[in-house]
Amino acid sequence: MTRLADTCAPPRRMRARWPGGDTAFRVAVTAASAFVIVVLVATAVFLLRQAWPALRHYGVLSFLGSDRWAPSEATASSAHPNPYGIAQFVYGSAVTSLIAMALAVPVAVAVSLYLTEIAPSWLRKPLSGLIDLLAAIPSVVYGFWGIFALIPAIRPAGTRLSQTLGSTPVLGPVLAGPFFGVSYAAAGIVLAIMVLPIITAICREVFATVPTTDKESALALGATRWEILRMAVLPRSRSGIAGAAVLGLGRALGETIAVTMVIGNSVLSITTSVLGPGATMPSVIANEFTESTEPFHLQSLMVVAAWLLLITLSVNVVGRLVVRRSGEESA
C-alpha cells in the first residue's frame, strides 16, 4: 500500500465528459417511448375517421347487433336493416382463438416442462431452437400447409364426427355437418401451431425462474419428478402461464392470412358448428378490402378493424390485470 503512494504516478489524463450526455439520453429515450404511444393513438384515430361515415349512417351498435354481412344489399340511402352485421366475425374470432388456446396451452406447458425439467441437458438448446423456429415460418406458408396437408388429414375424422355426434342433443349444434374441411376447427388447429412457440418461450422462462430450493423441498419430502412439477413448479408459475396464454391469445385474435386460407370465409350468418365454415374479423378484412365497391363497404370493414383493435386491446389489459393479481397472490 505504502509503495503505491510513494511512486506517485503522473496524473492520468482523462477526456472531459460531455455535460449534455444525460439530457440527450433522457430526451432520446423519452421520444422513443412517446413515439410508441403516438403510433397507437394515431392508428385508433385513423380507423375511427375512416369508419365514421358507416358508423354515422347505420348507428354505432347496429353492426354488432346483426350477423348478416351482405354488401350487395347495401344502398346509399337505406340504413335499416344494416347489411353489414359483424357479430359472426366476432364469434369466429372467439371460437378459433379459443380452440387454438385449448390446444396450444397444454402442449406448450408440457413442452416447456420437458425442456426445463426433464430433457437431458444436451437436448435442451437444440430443441428450444427448433421450437423457436416454428415462429419463423411465414403465416402464408402455414395457410398453404393448412389447405393441402391439414384439411385432407382431418377430413375423415371430421366427417365421422359430424355423422355420429352431429345430431345428438347437446353436442349436435357444435359438431353438426356437413364437413367440407375449411372450418373453424381447421383454423383453430393452424392457429394453435402458430401460437405454440410464443407460449412455449414464455413458459420456459417462467419455469426456469422457480428456485431450486422449492424443488429440493419437494424432493426432500419424497416427491417423484412429476410430483415436483405439481407441487413446486406449476403452482409458482400460474401467473406466468396465464400471461403466456394472453400473449398467445393476442396473436391468435390478430392472425389473418393463414386463417383466411382455411376458414371458408362464410359471412352470411353465424355457423354454430366448429366443423362449419365461418370468418374472423381479420379474415373478412383481408378477403374483401381489395374489392369493396358497394356503398359503405370499405367503411364497414374499417368498423370491423376498429372493433378488432378494441377487443385485442381489452384482452391485453384484462390479461395483464389477471397476471398482476395472481402474481400478488403467490408473492
Partner 1 sequence: MAPPTSPTGPSTDPSTCPAAAARIEVVDLTASYHGRPAVAGVNLKIEPRQVTALIGPSGSGKSTLLRCMNSMHLTVPGAGVTGSVLLDDVDIYTAKISPVEIRQRVGMVFQRPTPFPTMSIRDNVLAGLHLGRRLGRGSHDDLVEQALVRAGLWHEVKDRLKAPGGRLSGGQQQRLCIARALAVEPEILLMDEPCSALDPSATLTVEDLIKEIKQTYTVVIVTHNLQQAARVADTTAFLTVPAAGEPGRLVEVGPTERIFSTPRQQATEDYITGKAG
Contacts with partner 1 by CB under 8 A lie at 121, 213-214, 216-224, 227, 231-232, 235-236, 238, 329-331
Instruction: Output 39 or 123, the one with its CB closest to partner 1.
Output: 123
Instruction: Output 197 or 240, the one with its CB closest to partner 1.
Output: 240
Measured between alpha carbons, how far is 83 from 87 in angstroms, rounded to an integer?
A: 12
Instruction: Output 132 or 214, the one with its CB closest to partner 1.
Output: 214
Instruction: Output 218 or 315, the one with its CB closest to partner 1.
Output: 218
Minimal distance, residue 53 CB to partner 1, in Å? 53
Give percent helix, percent strand, percent coil of the chain, each to the nearest 5: 70, 0, 25
Q: Is residue 131 a contact partner of residue 196, using CB atoms and an 8 Å limit?
A: yes
Instruction: Output 137 or 231, the one with its CB closest to partner 1.
Output: 231
E strand spans, the chain? none
Contacts 24+ apart (CB under 8 A), 265-271: 267/69, 267/70, 267/88, 267/89, 268/68, 268/69, 268/70, 268/88, 269/67, 269/68, 269/88, 270/67, 270/87, 270/88, 270/91, 271/88, 271/184
Minimal distance, residue 18 CB to partner 1, in Å? 47
Distance of CA 319 to the CA centre of its chain: 12
Minimal distance, residue 220 CB to partner 1, in Å? 4
Minimal distance, residue 241 CB to partner 1, in Å? 13
Instruction: Output 217 or 272, the one with its CB closest to partner 1.
Output: 217
Minimal distance, residue 130 CB to partner 1, in Å? 22
Instruction: Output 229 or 285, the one with its CB closest to partner 1.
Output: 229
Instruction: Output 66 or 239, the one with its CB closest to partner 1.
Output: 239
Contacts 24+ apart (CB under 8 A), 217-221: none
Plot region of 179 (φ>0 → left; ψ -120 to 50 → alpha; else → beta): beta
Question: Can you say whether the dihedral through the CA atoms of 41, 51, 58, 317 is positive or negative?
Answer: negative
Minimal distance, residue 115 CB to partner 1, in Å? 15
Minimal distance, residue 222 CB to partner 1, in Å? 4
Minimal distance, residue 128 CB to partner 1, in Å? 17
Type of residue found at 99: I
Minimal distance, residue 247 CB to partner 1, in Å? 22
Instruction: Output 102 or 221, the one with its CB closest to partner 1.
Output: 221
C-alpha cell at 57: 349512417
Measured between alpha carbons, how far is 12 from 220 in angstroms, rounded to an integer?
A: 57
Measured between alpha carbons, how far is 327 from 305 in angstroms, rounded to an integer?
A: 33
Type of residue found at 269: S
Question: Can you say whether the dihedral through the CA atoms of 323, 326, 327, 328 is positive or negative?
Answer: positive
Q: Is residue 189 a contact partner of residue 287, using CB atoms and an 8 Å limit?
A: no
